[in-house]
Structures are given as structure tokens and as C-alpha cells.
């Protein structure tokens, strides 16, 4: 089996997340590459939710829609997710009464599905446990079915309950009861000497990346799916010394970030689209006073509240064009947990060196999905503050702060560190920050700030090509999590029996748009398509404005990420 595909279903609040995380950590400990995500309704409790896990010996980056194994914690999830199970798959459940699921069991027989059943509640209670520990029984059943050494899962159980020592023994007993009372069906191969990887979600990676590059203040108002960045920062605050504040609203939040950055403290905030709407006046202020600012937007479907617990790539235009007036900004997007760690650090460097707002886009799918990634290199991204050197502070003049330069970038120093001073004036101003409304002065200063755009574009990294650079049977251009599914397609030996050459041009730096490599990609490949998670193809519109034309567009806007099957189906229709 090239890829093991598991879905665990249960109502929200049923302990689904705990069992899923234990399973993910155990598979990762075995050396398998793991991608996992959870789907859940916006209600706190009730209604079906699920934890999807894909694992493989080789590199994987995305999820498959089809599943090999459905582990159903309750009847509701058994019924709700049964049709996702492939023919010949495996159904594991611990439902006490088979009455009411007769139709499902008949369907299972017709689809040649192997049903593994054990009365999970009774089994847990028989071991001296409680009803909720039926989940641990189910975990043991699943672990036996896929033919894995129990020591890996037991180790994770011990870690899970290390701060509740009284629960370790009983949970291990429940796990063993589930493991010992079912049969092995599969034999999962795993590398014996695999490189040790970490398992981490995108929000945790952003938090760690921020701390690694010198962030010393984090302000936020909780908004899904950005909220767990606040949780991670708060949990690490005592060890790191980072100031963490939950603020009363998004307006105050972003102003506290701007104030901290103005005074020299690296700080940031994270929100979703609706929260960022409230921040845009302050983003405009940052553009005018040329103060560094970093904001993370964790995208979810809109408009309005939309689908608050699902995923989307719908806020690109918001990031690129929101806020009044014209000023230089940088929009970056992360694609997975690994580059979330590195790109948040790059965001701070560009913000401080160019003295601009930087908007970092992520998505619910990236924010909350877990991946096996190599251990982070904490020295990969050097810190670049863009400040005047200490030995030059004494020679500064007031007018140096907003001096009109060829690149648009002027000297920046922190208030109080030099004899020279300046006004950070939200009105139009002269080179020392003092107010002006004179025609020539205003136009010169306006143009000075906008010249940063061309300078920024000239120093940004080029987009990256995956697969062969030219002559592909089908090519894609995209950003964000789109990279994950196309990388998996490129790594396939064949696509449903067809040997097709697929390549992909990925943009991490979206705005301002780097054009040279993009144009060359279109020249070198005859069948170029857009892949993007929104209805209108917002990035595609930016590309086509410079005279390039896509053959077709793979768009998705139902709140779900791109699955492997989405890409395969599209490719076979367009080659």
C-alpha cells in the first residue's frame, strides 16, 4: 500500500482529537510521513466531525479523498462517513447495538468491506475504565488491524497522560484489550532507519518561527483558524519571555503591534479575514509613516462569517488591495508547516528593511493540518533589522528619516537612540515628518513611498518550479496549499496508468508580482493551468493582467482543500 488513508469519525467533543493526535504521533514515531487534518462544524459540540490521516513511507504533502479505513466512534459518524470508504476497505466500530445500522452493514457486504467490531464501551468498563476510554479501545483495534507494533502507540499514550499519571495504566489496559481482541488485516511497512521528523501544524510553526526571529510581543483577538497561534505563544511565553496579550478587539490589537514595532520590538498579530477588515486603517497608517508591520491572515471561506471552520484561498485581493490610499506592501503566502516556520521570519526582515506592512497569508488547512517535516534549521534565516548602525547614529539629521531616495527606502532609527528626531505623522509630511500640504512636496513624498514597490520586486526571490522546467504535458501555477497536492501528483510514477509529465510554478511572494520567471514558464510549457482555492481565480487575474493566458483553471471553493483525486480528475480531462 503506497498510502494508508484513515478517517476517524465522531461527534465534536467526543475525544476525537485526542485519539487522532495519538495516532498521528505514533505513525510519525515509526518513521512514516504523515499528513493529517480535522474537519469539524462551527458548533462546539454535536454534529459529525472527523480526523483524516494519510501516511506513507515516501514523501506525501496532501490528503486523499478516498479512505481505506473508517474508524467510527459513534453511530452518527458511522452513517455520515460510510460512503467515503472505498470498496474493499475496512470499517472499525465499537457501536453497542447493531440495530439501526443494518442498512450500513448490508452496504458494507456489497462493497466487500471488512467489518471489525468490538463492544468498545463494555470492553473499556471491563478493564476498570470509563465510557470515554472506549476511544482507547478503538485505537487498539485500529493499531492491530494495520499490523503495527503496539509499543509505538503505547509510548504516545504514556506521553499523552504524563501529567495525569493515574490515567496511564488504565488507558494502556484499554488499548491492549482492543488490540488483543481483533485480527491483523494489513501489514504496514515502515522504514527502520528513517530520518527523525517532527509532526507540527502550521500555526505552531508560525509561532515558533516568530520566536526564533526575535518576536518579543504578540497581541491577538481570537478568531478561527488563527486562534491557536495565540494559544501556542501564551504557552511558550514563560520560557521565552514574550509578552502575550489577548486584546479587546482587532483594531486595538494591530495598533499595539504597530506601536511595538515603531519602538523597536518585533511584534505581530494573526486573525482571519473579518478581523483583518478592522485592521486596514492601521495598515494604511503603517504605509504612511513607513513603520514595519506584520499581520497573519488565516483564511477561511467568506463573505461574512461564511464557513468559519473550513478552508479557502479567498482573501488574496483583501491582502493586496485593502486599506485606503496607495502605498507599498508585501503579501507572502505559506504552503505548509515547514515554510510557515521560515516565511514568517522572512516577513519580519522585509518589513523592517523596506519599512512596509507585510501580510502573511495562511489557510485553515495549513493552520491546523499536521505534517511530518524535517527538524527546523534555526539559523537558516538571519535576522535583518534594517536599522542605522550604532556608529552612524551621531551623524544623523532629522530629515534623514523620510529622505527622498532612489529606492524609496530611507534611514530608520529607533526613537531616543540618536540626537536626531522626527515626527511619525499620519498626515502628508516632509522629510523630517513635519506636516505639509504643498503640491510639489506632497507629490515627491508620495512617489518616494511608491518607489519601494519596484525596489522590493527587484530583490524578492523568484517563484519555484517543481518538476521539469519545460515541455510538461500539463503545467500548473499556484500559491499557498495548492503546492501540496501538485507536488504529490508530480511524485506519482503514473496517473491511473498514464505516464504524464507534470510541473508546477509556485509563488510564495505574491504581491508585488515577479514576472520574469512566470513569463518564461509560459513560454517553455504549452498547457499551463491555474490551481487556486477560490471562485474567481484571484491570483490568476493578476497573472492575466500582464498578458498571459491560462488554458483552463482548477478552482475549488467548497471549504475543502484540494485532494489528490481532484487534481488527477482534472489532469485527465485536460491533457
pLDDT digits (tens, 9 = 90+) for 397-455: 999 999 999 999 999 999 999 999 999 999 999 999 999 999 999 999 999 999 999 99
Q: Would you state the pLDDT for residue 99?
A: 74
3-class SS letters over 409-424: CCCCCCCCCCCCCCCC
Average pLDDT of the residues of the chain: 95
Q: What is the rounded CA–CA span in Å between residue 568 and residue 565? A: 5
**Equal fold, 199-374 vs 464-573:** yes
Residue pair 175/161 in contact (Cβ under 8 Å)? The answer is: no
Helix (H) or strand (E) holding 278: helix 273-289
pLDDT in tens, 387-406: 999 999 999 999 999 999 99
pLDDT in tens, 326-378: 999 999 999 999 999 999 999 999 999 999 999 999 999 999 999 999 999 99
CB atoms within 10 A of CB 48: 22
Percent of the chain with pLDDT over 90: 90
Q: Would you state the pLDDT for residue 186?
A: 94
pLDDT in tens, 105-114: 999 999 999 9
3-class SS letters over 1-70: CCCEEEEEEEEECCCHHHHHHHHHHHHHHCCCEEEEEEECCCCCCEEEEEEEEEEECCCCCCCCCCEEEE
Parallel, antiparallel, or unpaired: how do β-strands 293-299 and 502-507 relate? unpaired
The pTM of this model reads: 0.96
| Chosen CATH of 4-180 out of 3.40.50.300, 3.30.200.190, 3.40.50.720, 3.40.920.10 | 3.40.920.10
Q: Would you state the pLDDT for residue 1?
A: 61
CATH T-level assignment (fold) for domain 199-374: Rossmann fold (3.40.50)
For residue 491, how many C-alpha atoms fall within 13 Å in the half-sphere facing its CB?
A: 16
> Has residue 72 got a pLDDT over 80?
yes
Listed by start position, the domains of the chain span: 4-180, 199-374, 390-459, 464-573
> Has residue 14 got a pLDDT over 80?
no
User: Residue 521 — φ and ψ, nearest 5°?
Assistant: -60, -40
| Residue 275 cell numbers, joined | 478581523
CATH T-level assignment (fold) for domain 464-573: Rossmann fold (3.40.50)
Percent of the chain with pLDDT over 70: 100
Amino acid at each position: 500500500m503506497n498510502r494508508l488513508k484513515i478517517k476517524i469519525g465522531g461527534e465534536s467533543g467526543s475525544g476525537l482529537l485526542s485519539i487522532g493526535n495519538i495516532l498521528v504521533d505514533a505513525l510519525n514515531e515509526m518513521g512514516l510521513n504523515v499528513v493529517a487534518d480535522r474537519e469539524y462544524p462551527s458548533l462546539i459540540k454535536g454534529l459529525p466531525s472527523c480526523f483524516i490521516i494519510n501516511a506513507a513511507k515516501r514523501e506525501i504533502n496532501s490528503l486523499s479523498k478516498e479512505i481505506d479505513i473508517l474508524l467510527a466512534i459513534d453511530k452518527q459518524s458511522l452513517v455520515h462517513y460510510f460512503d467515503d470508504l472505498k470498496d474493499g476497505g475496512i470499517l472499525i466500530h465499537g457501536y453497542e447495538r447493531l440495530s439501526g445500522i443494518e442498512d450500513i452493514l448490508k452496504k458494507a457486504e456489497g462493497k466487500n468491506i471488512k467489518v471489525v467490531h468490538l463492544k468498545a464501551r463494555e470492553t473499556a468498563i471491563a478493564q476498570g475504565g470509563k465510557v470515554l476510554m472506549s476511544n482507547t479501545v478503538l485505537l487498539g483495534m485500529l493499531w492491530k488491524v494495520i499490523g503495527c507494533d503496539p509499543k509505538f502507540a503505547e509510548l504516545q499514550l504514556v506521553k499523552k497522560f504524563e501529567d495525569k499519571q493515574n490515567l496511564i495504566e488504565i488507558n494502556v489496559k484499554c488499548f491492549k484489550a482492543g488490540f488483543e481482541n481483533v485480527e491483523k488485516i494489513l501489514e504496514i511497512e515502515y522504514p527502520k532507519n528513517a530520518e527523525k521528523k517532527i509532526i507540527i501544524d502550521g500555526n505552531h510553526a508560525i509561532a515558533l518561527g516568530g520566536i526564533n526571529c526575535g518576536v518579543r510581543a504578540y497581541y491577538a483577538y481570537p478568531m478561527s483558524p488563527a486562534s491557536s497561534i495565540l494559544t501556542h505563544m501564551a504557552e511558550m511565553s514563560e520560557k521565552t519571555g514574550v509578552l502575550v496579550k489577548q486584546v479587546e478587539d482587532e483594531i486595538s490589537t494591530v495598533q499595539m503591534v504597530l506601536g511595538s514595532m515603531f519602538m523597536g520590538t518585533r511584534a505581530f498579530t494573526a486573525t482571519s479575514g473579518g478581523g483583518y477588515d478592522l485592521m486596514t486603517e492601521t495598515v494604511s497608517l503603517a504605509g504612511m509613516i513607513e513603520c514595519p508591520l506584520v499581520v497573519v491572515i488565516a483564511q477561511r471561506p467568506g463573505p461574512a462569517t461564511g464557513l468559519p471552520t473550513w478552508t479557502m484561498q479567498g482573501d488574496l485581493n483583501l491582502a493586496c488591495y485593502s486599506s485606503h490610499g496607495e502605498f507599498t506592501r508585501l503579501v507572502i503566502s505559506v504552503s505548509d508547516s515547514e515554510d510557515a516556520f521560515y516565511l514568517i521570519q522572512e516577513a519580519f526582515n522585509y518589513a523592517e528593511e523596506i519599512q512596509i506592512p507585510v501580510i502573511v497569508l495562511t489557510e485553515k488547512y495549513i493552520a491546523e493540518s499536521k505534517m511530518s517535516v524535517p527538524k527546523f534549521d534555526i539559523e537558516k534565516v538571519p535576522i535583518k533589522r534594517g536599522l542605522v548602525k550604532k556608529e552612524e547614529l551621531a551623524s544623523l539629521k532629522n530629515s534623514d528619516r523620510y529622505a527622498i531616495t532612489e529606492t524609496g527606502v530611507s534611514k530608520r532609527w529607533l526613537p531616543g537612540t540618536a540626537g536626531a528626531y522626527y515626527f511619525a505623522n499620519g498626515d502628508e509630511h516632509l522629510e523630517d515628518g513635519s506636516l505639509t500640504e504643498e503640491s510639489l512636496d506632497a507629490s515627491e513624498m508620495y512617489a518616494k513611498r511608491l518607489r519601494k514597490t519596484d525596489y522590493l520586486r527587484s530583490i524578492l526571490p523568484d517563484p519555484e518550479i517543481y518538476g521539469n522546467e519545460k515541455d510538461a504535458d500539463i503545467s500548473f501555477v499556484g500559491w499557498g496549499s495548492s503546492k501540496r497536492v501538485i507536488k504529490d501528483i508530480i511524485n506519482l510514477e503514473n496517473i491511473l496508468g498514464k505516464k504524464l509529465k507534470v510541473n508546477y510554478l509556485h509563488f510564495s511572494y505574491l504581491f508585488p508580482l515577479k514576472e520574469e520567471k512566470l513569463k518564461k514558464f509560459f513560454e517553455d510549457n504549452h498547457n499551463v493551468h491555474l490551481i487556486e482555492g477560490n471562485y474567481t481565480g484571484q491570483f490568476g487575474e493578476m497573472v492575466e493582467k500582464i498578458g498571459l493566458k491560462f488554458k483552463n483553471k482548477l478552482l475549488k471553493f467548497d471549504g475543502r482543500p484540494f485532494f489528490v483525486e481532484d487534481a488527477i480528475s482534472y489532469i485527465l480531462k485536460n491533457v
